[in-house]
Amino acid sequence: MKLRSIKIDKKYIPIFNDNRSLPPEEQMVIYFTRIPGTSEKSNYKDYKFDAKGGVQLVYNDQQLVSTFIEKIENLEIDVDGRVQVIRNGAELASANNSKLVGLFTEIRNYLFPDNEELTEGESKA
């Protein structure tokens, strides 16, 4: 059994697009409905075959953000010359903008950080 060994807050200020260097009132802030358990990571990953027959790990980041993000403050993206305001996980999941790939990756890594699991009964040295 794996247990979460570090604290993850429900309010997160991403580093994406140099966000943390902005004045606090302009920073993008993400609020999660809940923080998933480490065992839930497998629900958001899958495998596919590439053109050479190899297997690739792929994440369903759209499902991840629509499931766990309740509210987003100060996120606007330019879509074909018009500004689109993103207010929640469902809107982020449907945004379909290649500029947001880094944000999706950052959110996934925040919710499921590598090497943060302990096996039950094991202590962190």
Assess whether pLDDT exceeds 80 at residue 3.
no
- Residue 70 in tokens: 């309740």
Q: What is the pLDDT of residues 63-107, one digit of tens each?
A: 999 999 999 999 999 888 889 999 999 999 999 788 899 999 999
Answer whether residue 89 is part of any domain.
yes
Answer whether residue 105 is part of any domain.
yes
Strand arrangement, sheet containing 11-12: 11-12, 29-32, 69-73
Q: What is the pLDDT of residues 25-58, one digit of tens each?
A: 999 999 999 988 888 888 888 888 888 888 888 8
Q: pLDDT: is 35 or 124 the higher one?
A: 35
pLDDT given at position 42 = 87
Q: What is the pLDDT of residues 8-25, one digit of tens each?
A: 789 999 999 999 999 999
pLDDT given at position 98 = 87
pLDDT given at position 122 = 45
Number of domains in the chain: 1
Which position has the token pair 């903008």?
97
Answer whether residue 124 is part of any domain.
no
- Domain boundaries, position 34: 2-116
Asked if residues 7 and 125 have their Cβ atoms less than 8 Å apart, the reply is no
Q: pLDDT: is 59 or 118 the higher one?
A: 59
Answer whether residue 121 is part of any domain.
no
Answer whether residue 55 is part of any domain.
yes
Q: Output the pTM of the full model.
A: 0.80
Answer whether residue 125 is part of any domain.
no
